A = this chain, B = another copy of it.
């Protein structure tokens, strides 16, 4: 009698594009980008790799879908609880911190997000999506920005987010290694040319300061700076 119900085998929920993409994001979060193969992902979903091709147009399409899934989190929704009475600063603050959350939640995927071309070439990472950019422009032009000012702010803001967050994520990613050792340059170099910190006195002296992680304070400070510069531009 249950033969009409179709594909759901016992415990397995139906295979959908959404479930595949979610599983892929989880897999990369837990095991890194290198662990993402169709076969491995299939196994994670209790299915052979070939079954994925019903829902996904190959690996590139999967990566694109993963990036889109993450980006959609930046879409302005009710629980941002921003009214029109809140200034554009409140919106940009909220947006900046949401992108930062995204980067911190998915450090393995964030580089992909800022590195892959969006489908529409004039959309820039990391906002990328038509929805999010529409939100951005609406929020700003609705609060007194001219078209040109809104577009200029979009550029500046994108560049700020990429620079700050890519560095922050890279820094966090490399905390696994111990602080003391400097790797030698590639296994095939002769041992007498091995690099030592002693050849770089200033780096050696400032190693402590260089390795301090001030990413969060710096993010806030630079964001404030940015908002002030935009403000100066707008109220001129």
A interface residue numbers (CB < 8 A to B)? 17, 54-57, 61, 64-65, 68, 111, 114-115, 117-125, 130-131, 133-134, 137-138, 141, 147-148, 150-151, 154-156, 158-164, 166-167, 170-171, 173-175, 177, 179, 182-183, 185-189, 195, 197, 199-203, 205-207, 209-211, 214, 218, 222, 225, 229
> Please, which residues of chain B bring their CB within 8 A of the CB of A122?
207, 210-211
Q: When the two chains form the complex, which single residue of B118, B120, B137, B170 contacts A202, counting CB atoms closer than 8 Å?
A: B137
Distance between Cα atoms of A64 and B170 in the complex (Å)? 15
B111 with A154: CB separation less than 8 A: no
Copies of the polypeptide in the assembly: 2
Inter-chain contact A130/B162, CB cutoff 8 Å: no
Residue in B closest to A61 when the chains form the complex, CB atoms: B186
Contact B154 A185 (CB under 8 A): no
A57's nearest neighbour on chain B, judged by CB, is: B187
Complex-state Cα separation, A206 to B56, whole angstroms? 32
Q: Contacts A120-B183, A121-B174, A170-B125; is A206 near B150 (CB within 8 Å)?
A: yes
Q: Is the CB of B130 within 8 A of A203?
A: yes
CB atoms of A203 and B137 under 8 A apart: yes
A17 touches B186 (CB 8 A): yes
From A64, A119, A207, name the one whose CB has the most chain B CB atoms within 10 angstroms: A119
Q: Which residues of B contact A141 (CB under 8 A)?
A: 202
Residues of B within 8 A of A151 (CB): 206, 209-210
Closest chain-B Cβ to A47's Cβ sits at a distance in Å of 16
